[in-house]
Structure 1
Amino acid sequence: MLIQPVADLLSRNADHYLIPADIVANVQTDNNLYHAFLVLTKIKYSKIPVLDHAGHFEGLISLPLITEQMLGFDQLNVEVLMEKRVSDVMETQVKTVPNVDDVESTLHLMIDNPFVPVVDNDGLFQGIVTRREYMKSFNFLTHEIGKQYDMIEKDFSTSEKSK
C-alpha cells in the first residue's frame, strides 16, 4: 500500500496519465499482419493495442509476434503477412486497469510493461497509461514531497548496530 503523501502527490497528476484512445496507434483484429507490421514500423513502437470494430480492447500485437510468423527453416516467408490476421497471433492475456485513479495497480503492472491499457467495465478501450508519464510524476514527487509534507529523517544506523 502506498503511503498517503505519495498517493496524494501521484493522484494529483492522474489527469495527465491517460493518453486517450483516439490518439493511440492501434490495429483491428481482422487486419492482416502486413498492415500491423507497417503500422508498428512506421510509428516505431514494438507493441500496440488491438481493438475490434466497436472499440473494445482485444489484446496487443508486437513486432516479435509478427516476425516469428515469418521465420521459416531457411528463409523468411513474407507471404504469411498477407494471409494471417492480427487475431491469429495477438497476445490476449493482457492485464488492464479500469481507470487512471488506480495508481497502485498501474504501478505494479508497469514494472514489466512500458504501458498499461485502460479499459472500462464494458471492455471499451479508453487509452493507455505510459511508464514515461508516471516517471514524470515521480520526478515531481521527489522534488515536491519535502516541500509539501514534514519529513522526519530516521537514523537507521543504531538499529543496524544492535543486530
Structure 2
Amino acid sequence: MFIKNCLTPCSQIKPIEVDSSIRKAISHLRTLRLDTIPVVDSAQSFAGITGYSYIMKYLLEQEDAHIDHHKWDQPISAALHPIRPLHILDDFEDTLPYCTRYPFVPVVEEDGETFAGIVKIGDIEKALTSTYGHEVEGVRFLLGVFIDMPHQLEQLMNAIKPFDVNIIAIASFDAGESYIRRILLKVKSTPHIQEMEHALERKGFRVLNIKHQ
C-alpha cells in the first residue's frame, strides 16, 4: 500500500499560509475545530505545522512573557514547527513513526515540495486493522519461528494447503529477540483447527496461541 491510497487531499484540509497572523491561525483552528494544522507558503509548498501548543510555547518563551494584543498579530511563521513530510509515493509503513508524535502525517507531491495532503492517524489505524483482519471473523494462530528457518512462508503454506482454508491475513514481526520471529496467521473458521496445529508443528513452527475471533 502506498501513502496516496489513504491520503486526505489538501483541498479537504484548508491549510493556513505561513504569512498569516497568529490571531488568524487561532481563528482558523477554532473554526475547523482542530488543535494542529499544516502550514504552506504562497506557492503551496509545505512549510511545517502549527497549533495551539506551538503558539503558546512560542509566546511563553519570549523575553517579555506578558502576552499583549500586538503579539497576536505576528506571523504564524514564528510559531512554526518543522517536520519532515513524506513523499506521496512513499510506502504506507513510513507513516508509523509519526503516530506517537503528531496527529497527522504531512505529505508532499512528487516534486518534494508542493503540499499534497495528510494521512490521518485514524486512517493509519484502519489500515493496520485491515492488515491484521481484526474485524473479520476467523481463527487466529500465533506462531513462533527461528529466523534462520528457510522458506518460512512456503513451509507455512504447504502445512495448511491440505485443509483448503481461506486466508484472511498473514503478518510477520519481531519477537523482541534477535533470533526469533512471530507469524500471525488468520484464516476463516474451519473444523480442521487441531489438524492444522499438528501440521504446522511438524513443519517446525511453534504454535503459541490459537484464538477464535
Q: TM-score, normalised to structure 1's length?
A: 0.73
Cα distance in 2 between the residues matched to 1:155 and 1:136: 29
Rg bigger for which structure?
A: 2
What residue number does 1:128 align with?
A: 118
Conserved 8 A contact 2:4-2:88: no
Greater per-residue strand proportion: 2
Q: Which runs of 5+ in 2 are unaligned?
A: 141-166, 171-184, 186-199, 209-213
Residues paired across the two proteins, number: 143
Higher relative contact order (CA 8 A, sep 6+): 1
- The residue type paired with residue 124 of structure 1 is T
Cα distance in 1 between the residues matched to 2:106 and 2:87: 9
Greater per-residue helix proportion: 1
Q: Which runs of 5+ in 1 are unaligned?
A: 1-10, 158-163
The offset of 1:149, in angstroms, is: 4.8
Q: CA RMSD in A?
A: 2.8
What residue number does 2:168 align with?
A: 148
Secondary structure in 2 matching 1:95: coil
Cα distance in 2 between the residues matched to 1:29 and 1:22: 17
Q: Does residue 1:95 correspond to 2:90, yes or no?
A: no
Q: TM-score, normalised to structure 2's length?
A: 0.58
The offset of 1:56, in angstroms, is: 0.5
Cα distance in 2 between the residues matched to 1:27 and 1:36: 7
Q: 2:68 aligns with which of 71, 77, 83?
A: 77
Cα distance in 2 between the residues matched to 1:42 and 1:12: 31
Cα distance in 2 between the residues matched to 1:61 and 1:12: 26
Secondary structure in 2 matching 1:148: strand
Cα distance in 1 between the residues matched to 2:89 and 2:121: 12
